[in-house]
Amino acid sequence: MRKLLTVMLAITILTFTFSHPALAAKPDGQQIFNANCSACHIGGNNVIIANKTLRKEALEKYGMKSLAAIKTQVTHGKNAMPAFGGRLQEDEIEAVANYVLNQAEKGW
């Protein structure tokens, strides 16, 4: 009986640990950027439209100086930039937007 209770407790703990969203790891903005954005935006640059970089001055000039604006751009895309709303989850988009803003503040 004691073994059965121990096994049941272990199963319950494992189920809760791996299925509870609050315990899930937060997405890593840098990893997401490297996997999805760096081909065009390596080092904060822009290989498609050279003046529309991810540097602080350019983000401000083109109205991309807020988390909301960057999230919208990443989600829906614009011009040559594809939409990532179908590929990335909301929390991943937020993580990559935060990463872009932080890197812009640091000067990439």
Structure tokens at 16: 């809760």
3-state secondary structure the chain: CHHHHHHHHHHHHHHHHHHCHHHCCCCCHHHHHHHHCHHHHHHHCCCCCCCCCCCHHHHHHCCCCCHHHHHHHHHHCECCECCCCCCCCHHHHHHHHHHHHHHHHHCC
Structure tokens at 63: 């109205």
Look up tokens 């960057």; give the residue. 70
Detail the residues annotated as belonging to a binding site: 37, 40-41, 81
Detail the residues annotated as belonging to a binding site for heme c: 37, 40-41, 81
